[in-house]
Amino acid sequence: MSRAGRAPLWLLLATLAAGCSAPAASPTASSGTWELLASAPIARLEMAVAAHDGRIWLAGGLSPLGEALTDVDVFDPVTGQWSDGPSLPASVHHAALVSDGERLLLMGGYLGSAFNRPSDLVLTLSDGDVQWREGSAMPDALGAGAAAWDGERVVYAGGVGIDGVSANVYVLIDEAWERIGAMAAPREHLAATSDGAGTVWLLGGRVGGLDTNLATVEVVSGSSIGQLEPLPTARGGVAAFHDPELGACLTGGEAPGGAFRTAECVSTDGDITTLPEMVEPHHGHGAAAVDGVAYVLLGGPEPGLSASATIEWLALDR
């Protein structure tokens, strides 16, 4: 059975009702298309997003008016329904969120609605908890960095701190943070994703303004930080998901000329795949893959402070 055959039943029924077959793809280019789903309960951007236990969690972020949020919303791809998660104890945006399989960890970001209060705060939410708990604080206060779970540890890279944009790469093991090295150059508004088997990709981002976008791809494995060929499109304000065959897939982003509908993937060997363009542009959004289906969630359709409630999906079948 293709991976589209394992897509949520409600998605497949919607496809059949439209009188067309499920999307198909080849190893080098998808022939399927992104499809819009019902909108999320609220519009926002720069929230932290992660898949956990088959659901997609969205935490914090900015409202369309630029207000920092404490809201946590949970999307169930099987039913298409939303539910409320425990609210954050403080409003935060540009944070990172990862799942280690047993709990969620939210780290860094900017406290309040301003951009001058980067945080070293780490919050955890174990299965069954009704409130977030404080975890081991990060070594530096950082916003707009990126994090992923590599199967044994959290890897956090880049971001903006008190002293400027960071190139540092940290790992969290047994509740202790350790610096393992640095990226080739400082980056913020980048994305991270992992195969869950020891490899983390660090993709895109920028050095400062929208005119400093990068197409850089670096791979973290153990204590090694290696560099692959860059992606075709330089962009920051991005999000990423992992696919076992395509590798790390980078979505959306923004530049001075507008936000992107672009989705590009790169394997550990450096093979690049271009996916179909998304229906709408997204930046400051989230991305996740659940049961062979990729989801891109919310973010802004225009550069800067713009926010939507749009969700798109793409079946990653063969």
Q: For 54-108, how does the pLDDT look when each residue is reduced to its tens digit (9 = 90+)? A: 999 999 999 999 999 999 999 999 999 999 999 999 999 999 999 999 999 999 9
CA-closest candidate to residue 267, choices 285, 286, 244, 289: 244
User: How confident is the model over 187-236, as pLDDT tens digits?
Assistant: 999 999 999 999 999 999 999 999 999 999 999 999 999 999 999 999 99
- Contact (CB, 8 A) for 286 and 298: yes
User: How confident is the model over 32-54, as pLDDT tens digits?
Assistant: 899 999 999 999 999 999 999 99
When pLDDT is averaged across residues 133-148 and rounded to a whole number, the result is 98
Q: Is the pLDDT of residue 15 over 70?
A: no
User: How confident is the model over 106-135, as pLDDT tens digits?
Assistant: 999 999 998 989 999 999 999 999 999 999
Q: What is residue 30's predicted lDDT score, i.e. its pLDDT?
A: 45
Mean pLDDT of the chain: 91
What are the sequence ranges of the domains in the chain? 3-315
Cα 252 vs. chain centroid, distance in angstroms? 10
In 10 A of CB 272, how many CB atoms? 17
In 10 A of CB 86, how many CB atoms? 14
Architecture field, domain 3-315:
6 Propeller (2.120)
